[in-house]
Amino acid sequence: MTASTAIRLGFIGTANQGTINLKGFFKHDSDCVVTAVCDVDSRHTEAACKLINEHYGNEQCRVFHDFRELNRWDGVDAVVITTPDHWHAYMAIDAARCGKDIYLEKPLTLFVAEGRAICRAVTAEKRILQTGSHQRSMAEFRRACELVRNGYLGKIDWIEVAIPPNNKTCEPSWQPMPVPPELDYDFWLGPAPAVPYHEQRCHYQFRFISDYSGGQVTNFGAHHLDIAQWALGMDHSGPSEVWGQGEYPASGLFNTATKVSFGMRYDNGVEVRCVTGGSKVIFHGSRSSLEVWRGGLKTDPADIADTVLADSDVRLYHSGDHYANFLACIRNRQQPACPAEVGHRSATCCHLANIAMQLGRRLRWDPAAEQFVGDDEANAMLTRPYRAPWTLQ
């Protein structure tokens, strides 16, 4: 690939967030071109192809039904994976082994063990992977983390994280529905258990069913816990203790926590406490508190927010645009704003919280070994068998 050659992108998963990502990459036409789309729902590929062909003024977008064929096609240099979480690991590892660079939506995985498998594959194949935790490329979050890292808030006592509640589910007496002819439902399920179809099981609502996702803990938690990790300098580590309680639907299709209250403690003594309600991160320090959200930040005292960093202060990774950063790193082969290891460690925080809430007890975690300490039941929840014929190797 030369500097003047457009990076050819293939999109795997083209609904909802996939469309948002597609339009995001459209803003970088001088650097990339979308050449292919893949989805198991033909309604999604048709809509995506229409957008792509209208954008470029041609009819050259290629459509795939099977992501493995797209990964092996020589008409793409990199893939953008925006599928339900239960597919992330398999698709990303397959893409890496096919020599493709990868933009992989957050949360990186459904289980902790999958994240380590992705990291191994990306390292072995020398691939670039950008996790879609785009708050790493937002100025307000970088600024907040730099103020924390350089001690302008004093000693951090604890970090408060707020995440939104789940969507409402269908009635407890829900019944299976006919599978739409446009959807390859068995392929959509993939490695997940075989279960009857319902329209709320698929597409956006998948994230509230534990076979496919971890609810808002892995949805927004993957954003905000990622910021806590970044501020604490824990991108290659994690907490050593986790606990929490969750409220779960009594019945119905959705089964992830509708309301959460969990905490994590790091070896340096800092606690992260997460609750349902809102969308923000608040750092509580001995000198100042700092609240950051998408669109701004504020401190108490207010003048801390205007602090000018000293020349000797730590400067964190600067990325003004998450998509542009991925494309630049494909060319220069440098690590992006949120590489595989970082995305894996932040997703792990989410998974640990869900496990602690499900078991209802305090758990000790060894971030180096990536195992719970003395708890076989909890360790068994770090992975699960894949439905045949799918296997994670």
In the chain, domain spans: 7-135, 139-316+340-382
Q: pLDDT tens for the chain, 393 residues: list them.
A: 555 699 999 999 999 999 999 999 999 999 999 999 999 999 999 999 999 999 999 999 999 999 999 999 999 999 999 999 999 999 999 999 999 999 999 999 999 999 999 999 999 999 999 999 999 999 999 999 999 999 999 999 999 999 998 877 777 778 899 999 999 999 999 999 999 999 999 988 999 999 999 999 999 999 999 999 999 999 999 999 999 999 998 878 899 999 999 999 999 999 999 999 999 999 999 999 999 999 999 999 999 999 999 999 999 999 999 999 999 999 999 999 999 999 999 999 999 999 999 999 999 999 999 999 999 999 999 999 999 999 987
Q: How is residue 137 annotated by DSSP?
A: G
Strands 62-64 and 296-300: unpaired
Query: How far apart are alpha carbons 355 and 239 in whole angstroms?
Result: 14
What does the block give as tokens for 263? Answer: 């905490």
Q: Are 235 and 156 in contact (CB under 8 A)?
A: no
Query: How far apart are alpha carbons 244 and 230 in whole angstroms?
Result: 22
pLDDT for res 251: 76
Query: How far apart are alpha carbons 26 and 36 in whole angstroms?
Result: 14
For 106, counting Cβ atoms within 10 Å of its Cβ (0-12 exposed, 13-18 middle, 19+ buried), the class is buried
Query: How far apart are alpha carbons 334 and 326 in whole angstroms?
Result: 10
Query: How far apart are alpha carbons 383 and 113 in whole angstroms?
Result: 6
The candidate with the shortest Cα–Cα distance to 336, out of 141, 136, 144, is 136
Residue with tokens 């309680």: 245
Query: How far apart are alpha carbons 46 and 19 in whole angstroms?
Result: 12
* Domain 7-135 bears CATH identifier 3.40.50.720: yes
pLDDT for res 252: 80
pLDDT for res 1: 56
Query: How far apart are alpha carbons 39 and 184 in whole angstroms?
Result: 9
- Radius of gyration for the alpha carbons in the chain, expressed in angstroms and rounded: 21
The candidate with the shortest Cα–Cα distance to 290, out of 374, 227, 356, is 227
Give the helix/strand (H/E) hosting 9. strand 7-12
pTM for the model stands at 0.96
The candidate with the shortest Cα–Cα distance to 237, out of 228, 246, 245, is 228
Domain 139-316+340-382 fold is Dihydrodipicolinate Reductase; domain 2 (3.30.360)
